[in-house]
A and B are shown apart, each in its own frame.
Chain A
Amino acid sequence: MGRIKGDAWVALILLAACAVFINDLQMTEDSGAFVKTTTLPMALAIALGILSSILLAWTIWLQIRRAADHETLPQSSERYAHLRVFLLVASIAIYITALPWFGFLISTAALIAGAAVLYGNRRLLQIVGAMVLIPVALLIFFEQYMIVLLPSARLFE
């Protein structure tokens, strides 16, 4: 039958999530007339579980039917593509965490440089220009015109 395909993974993850949510809902205090606080979420979680089971069964059935079509391992270029996605997600997560510590200007400049390289931009002048212009323009726009404070560098205070 080969490896489990993407849709089946989605169905399995959704089924696991449904189990967690149903458990959480069962422990929630209920109130309301006829349709209670947890009735609709519970019904939707069950519906999600049923739909995920159908998707899982359907994907496995399709896989068995098409067993003759041998699955090929991802090419190295595709593996690098997945790595780029992972690196971008990690960069954004680090950026969000760094914002309150290093402040908006420094964190943003660093993210722009990293992201530009991940997108294949190798023009140093363009990257440096973007590292300076984008954070400064956004800071001025939000703090001067929209009157919203962006995170300042707690680490240097």
Chain B
Amino acid sequence: MKGIEAFEALAPLLKNEPTVLANGFISRAFFNVTDRKENFYMIGSMGLASSIGLGVALAQPERKTLILDGDGNVLMSMGTLAMIATCAPKNLIHIVIDNEVYESTGSQRTLSHEIKLEEVAKSSGYKQVMRVTRPEEIQPAYEKLYQAEGPVFLLIKVEPAFDASQGRVTHTPEEIRDRFMESITG
């Protein structure tokens, strides 16, 4: 499955959940699939999608909160998996698009071709973890995890196939913040 297929399968499943998106191809590709005010596009601060998402989930315990993360981001901040498991927000769904490379910088390999990140999450103490490799598996896995008590972890294995001609996120950082905060508190 290509990354874009994963995003196209995920997009119709999302409602009004605050969603923190990792920098690089994750933010760019998802922006081009579906631009929602609930999307917090993290354009810098690599590695911090998970901690930002944890902060949102803890501040808004009644709102389902999503993190749309990448393997490079997760590997950079593996300790945050332990923080998420320890804080144990019931409303947090951590989705990782795992393409095994740093795609937006030229597809240099990460370490996730050998390291199963969903097993790291499970060992850290996530309540449930799943791994899918085909587009048709995404909806049932997402719906199952959505009903479960968090924090839960969904790893979606994809091939590197980012179309670099796709545009960058066009909103300014402040616009991204304002829309996102309004979608939570407005």
A and B from one complex: no
Chain A interface residues (CB < 8 Å from chain B): none
